[in-house]
Structure 1
């Protein structure tokens, strides 16, 4: 596993780890890309004068608003 994989544990709903290397690669790549996009958005907002706590709340709200594709 690469980079962030050491700190991220990809688990199935039953708690078992994801074992497929290709799935792990995709998950790790998505995680790294997401972190970079979030970092860029956060930095831009702060440099444009947005309050840090307010921007953190916007990002947290975005995560909370995600709906599972399994629930239709």
Structure 2
């Protein structure tokens, strides 16, 4: 499973990172690196929740992140 990550700096200086394949999975951070780390952690938590609830999650044997 490859997840696409988009990130941008807001006008107030914070960074926002988002996983496009997982609606609503986005995180802010004071730096680009921290926003990326937070959104990756959140994405993995969402996928874990989906698996625990028996939802279909395609090909979770390997999960990778790619910047868009």
TM-score (norm 1): 0.40
Larger radius of gyration: 1
More helix per residue: 1 or 2?
Answer: 1
More strand per residue: 1 or 2?
Answer: 2
